[in-house]
Amino acid sequence: MAKIGIVGAAGYTGGELLRILVNHPDVHLTCIMSNSQAGKLVSDVHTDLLGSTNARFSADLSPVDVLFLCSGHGESKKFLAANEIPWHTKIVDLSTDFRDESEGFVYGLAEFQKSKIQSATKIANPGCFATSIELALLPLAQAGLLKSDVHVSAVTGSTGAGQSLSNTSHFSWRNNNVSIYKAFTHQHLTEIGMVLGAKSPAPKVNFIPYRGNFSRGIMANVYTAYTGTQEEAIELYENYYQDSPFVFVSPKDVDVKQVVNTNKCFLHLEVYDGQVLISSVIDNLIKGASGQAVQNMNLMLGWPETAGLGLKAIGF
């Protein structure tokens, strides 16, 4: 049994990690950190975990085999600078701090560089929008077929903004509403460019993010120039993802509820008039964050990639 620590365990991604890991067959949660909730029962904050764990939040770091960093962006660097982490402790950071693969971190998109993750000790978990868009485009990028600008229109649920309240996360503003934000400038464009440019020059990605009036999930609709047939596109994607246990090519239109509460990504392709449209749906908190973090942990520890991630979609 691997000893697990979570820093920032009271937030959305920390809570999702707890929900997954309390049922993981090979781990033991020994260090659940939150400065704001120290001493409280985990189930007093994440009330759905009543009956699943009697653990309490702690303000102190104890020795663990794997440490997940779930604090806000910029906080991971501060935490690692202030705390001496043993060399053998594996780290998975869910912030943006190391997604440029600085300081020995490896970018943790298994469908992009699984073997590199397997030999890593420090993982930078991808962003949620980045995950959905990269999975939509990786087969084209790896085949050298991204030769024109890419256009992305993507919508995310309110949990994508984190737990801290802001004017645009209040229910009264978000409900029955939709808006764009950070058009053409979203922070995930940097890592998207890094991944898409790994084999050939990265295309320009024109990204329009939307705030949706729902809690969780991402739909990214991505299109670019393409000269092949629909059958060729589907074959390209199915071949690329044949050894990826969480990515599936759907013959039908996809929707967010198919993947919410799972670590899956569903892709649907349509070729029309010299362009290919790829619709990509994921759960922003699971495949876009905590589930992908557990997937990376499994790979680093040499366990089955799917361990603890046999999650059920909500369906309705």
Name the maximum alpha-carbon separation found in the chain.
Answer: 60
Residues 185-239 pLDDT 10s: 999 999 999 999 997 889 999 999 999 999 899 999 999 999 999 999 999 999 9
Q: Are strands 275-282 and 218-225 parallel, antiparallel or unpaired?
A: antiparallel
Helix 128-142, helix 230-240: angle, nearest 10: 110
Quote helix, strand, coil % in the chain, to nearest 5.
30, 25, 45
Three-state SS at 191: helix
List, by residue number, the catalytic residues.
Answer: 128
Q: How confident is the model at residue 15 (pLDDT cuts 50, 70, 90)?
A: very high
Partnered with residue 279 across adjacent β-strands are 221, 268
**Cα four-point dihedral sign 116, 110, 100, 95:** negative
Three-state DSSP at 300 gives helix
pLDDT digit string, tens, across residues 35-47: 999 999 999 999 9
> Residue 158's pLDDT is what?
82
Taking CA atoms, 47 is separated from 43, 54, 204, in Å, by: 5, 12, 44
Pairing type for strands 2-7 and 27-33 reads: parallel
Q: What does the pLDDT read at residue 315?
A: 83
In a 10 Å sphere around its CB, with 0-12 CB exposed, 13-18 middle and 19+ buried, how is residue 144 labelled?
A: exposed
β-strands 205-211, 179-180 pairing: antiparallel
Crossing angle of the two packed helices 189-196 and 128-142, in degrees rounded to 10: 20
Q: Any alpha helices (H) in the chain, and if so which ranges?
A: 12-21, 42-45, 75-82, 110-118, 128-142, 171-174, 189-196, 230-240, 291-300
Residue 34 and residue 178: Cα distance in Å, rounded? 33
Question: pLDDT tens for residues 262-310?
Answer: 999 999 999 999 999 999 999 999 999 999 999 999 999 999 999 999 9
Say if residue 8's pLDDT is above 90: yes
Helix (H, G, I), strand (E, B) or coil at 20: helix
